Amino acid sequence: MGSTTSLHFDEFKMIKELLSPLSIGEVGAYGLSDDGAKIKVKNGDIILTTDAIIKGIHFPESEDPKTIASRIIRVNLSDIAAMGAVPRAYLLVLAIPSSTTLSWMESFVEGLSCEQKEFGISLIGGDTTRTQGELMLSITMIGETYDNKVLLRNGASVGDYIYVSGFIGDASLGLSLIEGRNKANSLSVTDYLINRFRKPTPRIDLGINLTGIANSAADVSDGLLADLKHICNASGVCAEIYLNHIPISSEAESMVSNNLNLRMDLLSGGDDYELIFTVPFKHISKVNELSEKYNVQIKQIGKIIGKGLNEDVITLKDVNGKILKISSEGYQHFRN
């Protein structure tokens, strides 16, 4: 154990031995030794989401394997939360370069194991292969709907209040600190922001309890503006949001201070994995109840103001009601 030997052919068995204990919580995983896995559905429909990440593109080269495990699990759980479903199990695809060490794998598996315990899920299957490229991980997360209800993006209606959980912008600032593109003025600020990037909090309880209350929801993965735009486009509506309502942590505040451009950047930063959702007026009192019950900050940041399907579906206003120009709407892949 703890070896730094590179993984090769003979150690394939060891990977299996490392991974298969992660499956003991789910009978239908068959110890990862069959052609597939079985999920016995209890009382809802099945929800499926997939997210893939590649070293150097979605996480920094030097990232710790436990952190990588935490993040890929949590990112996928966030999609389950955004559907209002209860997470159940996951499949893992691992494409591993030959330079990967056994101690790396052990640490990665330890990370998976911690997250499984925290969120009550099990590994039920997957595939491992070597790659000549960079390490790639892909997870398919399986959830079950509660009472057959789902949260979709396409139900936002004119008059809905727009809410967001937690803080916006912490994760993108955290990433900029990891990558050395930015510098905080205290170690505690640095630690807090980096941790928000590395270990986002999937809003599972909130998501489940928003079914029947929210008209639409998404998780903030691409950036607040980009994900709100997804909701607007799917629902055929347009929105206005107020810059001074956007929840910014005191740590993020200490970095953007009075710089309007930096503050605007937080709106397109991505990786926060908070929930953004719209609620009809008749249900807004319930949002406060959920906030208290599940101890999660929820802030109203704007309103759905009309129908619309054009490019500029979001109007951003400052504290005086003046319209601010939106220059960038969030992270997208394939930028070269």
Instruction: Give me the residue label for tokens 């930015």.
Output: 182
- Rule CB under 8 A: is residue 228 a binding residue for its own copies? no
Task: Please select the residue that binds its own copies; options are 2, 4, 9, 322, rule is CB under 8 A.
Answer: 9
Select 129 or 285, whichever has its Cβ closest to its own copies: 129
Site for its own copies in 236-295 (CB under 8 A): none
Select 61 or 292, whichever has its Cβ closest to its own copies: 61
Partner residues linked to 129 by β-bridges: 95
- Strand ordering across the sheet containing 314-317: 216-219, 275-279, 161-165, 298-307, 237-242, 314-317, 323-324
Site for its own copies in 69-128 (CB under 8 A): 79-80, 82-83, 85, 91, 93, 95-96, 98, 124-128
- Rule CB under 8 A: is residue 330 a binding residue for its own copies? no
> Which one-letter DSSP state was computed for residue 149?
B
Other beta carbons within 10 angstroms of residue 225's beta carbon come to 25
Cα–Cα distance, 220 to 275 (Å, whole number): 6
Select 91 or 313, whichever has its Cβ closest to its own copies: 91
Q: Residues 171, 198, 166, CA angle at the centre, nearest 5°?
A: 45
Taken in order 66, 48, 292, 244, is the CA torsion positive or negative?
A: positive
Q: How far is the CB of 123 from its own copies (least distance, A)?
A: 11
Other beta carbons within 10 angstroms of residue 282's beta carbon come to 9
- Rule CB under 8 A: is residue 134 a binding residue for its own copies? yes
Cα separation values, 266 from 179, 202, 256, 274, Å = 16, 19, 9, 13
- Rule CB under 8 A: is residue 61 a binding residue for its own copies? no
Could you tell me how many residues of this chain bind its own copies (CB under 8 A)? 70
- Rule CB under 8 A: is residue 36 a binding residue for its own copies? yes
Q: In the 3-class helix/strand/coil scheme, how is 289-300 assigned residue by residue?
A: HHHHHCCCCEEE
- Rule CB under 8 A: is residue 47 a binding residue for its own copies? yes
- Rule CB under 8 A: is residue 5 a binding residue for its own copies? no
Q: How far is the CB of 102 from its own copies (least distance, A)?
A: 12
Q: How far is the CB of 233 from its own copies (least distance, A)?
A: 8
Task: Please select the residue that binds its own copies; options are 20, 130, 158, 294, rule is CB under 8 A.
Answer: 130
Cα–Cα distance, 97 to 74 (Å, whole number): 24
Q: How far is the CB of 308 from its own copies (least distance, A)?
A: 17
Site for its own copies in 147-186 (CB under 8 A): 150, 152-154
Assign 130 to helix, strand or coil.
Answer: strand
Instruction: Give me the residue label for tokens 């009309």.
Output: 306
Residue ranges binding its own copies (CB under 8 A): 7-9, 11-12, 28, 30, 33-41, 45-54, 56-58, 79-80, 82-83, 85, 91, 93, 95-96, 98, 124-134, 136, 138, 140-143, 145, 150, 152-154, 218-219, 230, 234, 332-336
